[in-house]
Structures are given as C-alpha cells and as structure tokens.
Homo-oligomer: A and B are copies of this chain.
C-alpha cells in the first residue's frame, strides 16, 4: 500500500465507515470530531482565480499541502498542473488524471532512486540547486529539463523558509552550464518567496535575479525558457489583511514585464496553501476548560500531533470560531488532547474565546486545509490521524 493510498484509507466520506474506528461511536463519521471539512469547490475556485490573475502562467498545485485524491482529481479536471517531490506524489498526480508533462519535481536534493522513478514515470522537469545534484540527475534522468533554485530573503512571509534550499545567481549560472555539458536541458530558474507571503512585491527581487541568470547564460549560447515563481500565496489566516489574488497577479506581471521585457519565458507557480488553505476547516470539540493559576486553558480534541503542527512556535495563527457560543470573551491558552506537554497550540500569544465555552462545544479552526491532515502523526498517544470529510 503506498503512502498516498494510506492517506486515502484514512478519509471518511458522507457515509459512515463500515470498518470499526478507534472510537466506537453511534454518530455518523461526518459528525465526529476532530475532522477536516474540505471544500473541493472552494479549492477549484481558488485555482481558477489564480489562473485568471496569472493569465499565461501555469498553475502547479503543490501536492504536499493536501494530497486528498478527490481534491487532486477535481483540480486536474479543472486544468490544474501539479508540483511533486517524491515518487508517491508523482503517482498520486498521475492517478488524478494529470499527464506527466504537467508535473514539476521540486525537491532540490533527492534520492537517486526517487529521481529515476520519477523520470521513469514520465516527469521531465526537475528543480535542483547544487553541482552534486546536476551529476545525479544526468545519471538518473538523462536528458531531463533543469530548473536551478536561487535563494530569496523570505521577507514579508509569516513562515520564512530556512536556508535549506537555493543558491546564488553566480552558482545558478554555473549549474545551468554544467547541466548543458551533461546532456540535460538547462531550462531555467526557480525560487520561493516563503510560505504565507503577504507582500505581492516580494516577487520583484527574485524575478530580477532570475533575469540576471537568464542574461548570463544566454551569453554562453544557452536559451533558458522557464521561470518557476514558486508558491507562498497566502490563506486568510489571522494577523492582518491578505491582498487579493488579482493584486498578486498584477504585481508579478509588472515585475516580469520590467525584468524580461519582450523576451519573457514561460512561467509557472506552485501554490499549495494558496489553493487549499481556505478550503479546509478543522472541526474540534472542547474536552475541558481548566484554570491554571488564573490562566484559562481550553483543551480541544485536535492538536499538534493530529494535524495542527503548523502552530509550533505559533508561526501560523488560524482564525477560530465557536458557533452558538456567545457572551464575553477572554484570553485562553489552547491545548491539544494528547498527554504530551508539547501539544499546546497557542500559549505565548493566547487566543480570545467566550468565557462560557465548555466541554462538548464545537471550535472551528478556519483556513486549515493546507498542511493539516498530511502533517498528522500515524497515531501518537493512541490518537488517530485527522480524518477528512469532503464537502462540495
């Protein structure tokens, strides 16, 4: 059974599951908590908005954000392409109906057998950022197209990326020349402006850097033809206004025109959260409310180990809603259900919740469609991975 199959096996649909669940219950699966309610229609609509705002740019949905097969099929049918990083993700995209030519493999340092398998499955476009990987790719995927990832500052994003990936402009030029020497297609440049990026202007500096790489390799007679503008498009989390998709589109188009003029390459983007983030709501129930020396702790039945790991260091702040519970609100620490002391969602900056909130009340965690179900543990402490309920 493949990894993606396992993710599928954990999905509940509107019909109750026939097989016994961890928690024997007479409630239908769709009413149990915790669960992710995933609106595939919302995700497809976000894809269409992005495709319209970035007319002429191919939209590659980042499968890692949420690999649910119903979502992938709907996106593929709507014309969406895919960003993949492992053989299991390649197979998931193919199973959803995408042709291999619609995939970009964007794991810059990958196992040789994984590269070979992706290539055998038909993938042709690969991202890398180091000399060792150019040689590895030439061996594992002869003739493949190479995008070299350049480093960015990540400024303006809620979750700036580490220095794990990306090389300098000078190194990118050398790598594309290397690629050509080794029989690969030196196709272009890739970058990523950081996750949950709120500033449309963040695309400006890396687009200009990419144009410098294009110019430098053209001087060697090489004609790169692709620019991968990465992901980072935000969901509607807490913490200030998010610009509209069309504002991102307009800013990116302006930067492309400015940097490349008439000689614009083919472009693609790799949104994950930007497509599926707002399509998902984690529905939890309150387990208990406890006073800890004057601090109010609210324990819910989803936590760090069951889908909400992005709350670590409180980098990502979800929008919360408690339907039907009113009255005065006050600051609360929000904690998960396992007996692990690390299973705390928001403590440094508490959340505001009604003081009348009590055991059994529902807490809805919005904009949680990305990096939730796929980040669940296999069942830490005996708590099942977050299941998905697909809505229209």
* Interface residue ranges, A against B (CB under 8 Å): 1-4, 6-7, 10, 19-20, 22-25, 63-64, 67, 84-90, 92, 106-114, 117, 129-130, 132-133, 136, 161-165, 167-168, 195, 285, 287-293, 295, 297, 299, 301, 305, 312-313, 335, 337-344, 347, 359, 373-385
Contact = CB atoms under 8 A, between A and B. Distances in A.
B339 A381 contact: no
Contact of A381 (B10, B24, B85, B167): B85
A375 B377 contact: yes
B379 A377 contact: no
Given A132-B290, A133-B288, A297 B164 contact: yes
B293 A168 contact: yes
Contacts of A381: 64, 85-86, 89, 107, 374
Contacts of A168: 293
A109 B6 contact: no
Contacts of A19: 1
Contact of A106 (B85, B113, B339, B344): B339
Of A295, A338, A342, most buried by chain B (CB within 10 Å of CB) is: A342
Contacts of A339: 64, 85, 106-108, 165
Contacts of A338: 64, 85-86, 107
Contact of A87 (B22, B63, B89, B112): B22
Contacts of A108: 339
A382 B3 contact: yes
Given A89-B381, A132-B290, 17 more contacts: A1-B19, A1-B20, A23-B117, A64-B339, A64-B380, A67-B382, A109-B337, A130-B288, A132-B289, A136-B288, A136-B359, A164-B341, A164-B344, A165-B339, A168-B293, A305-B375, A377-B377
A98 to B, nearest CB: 15
A324 B151 CA distance: 35
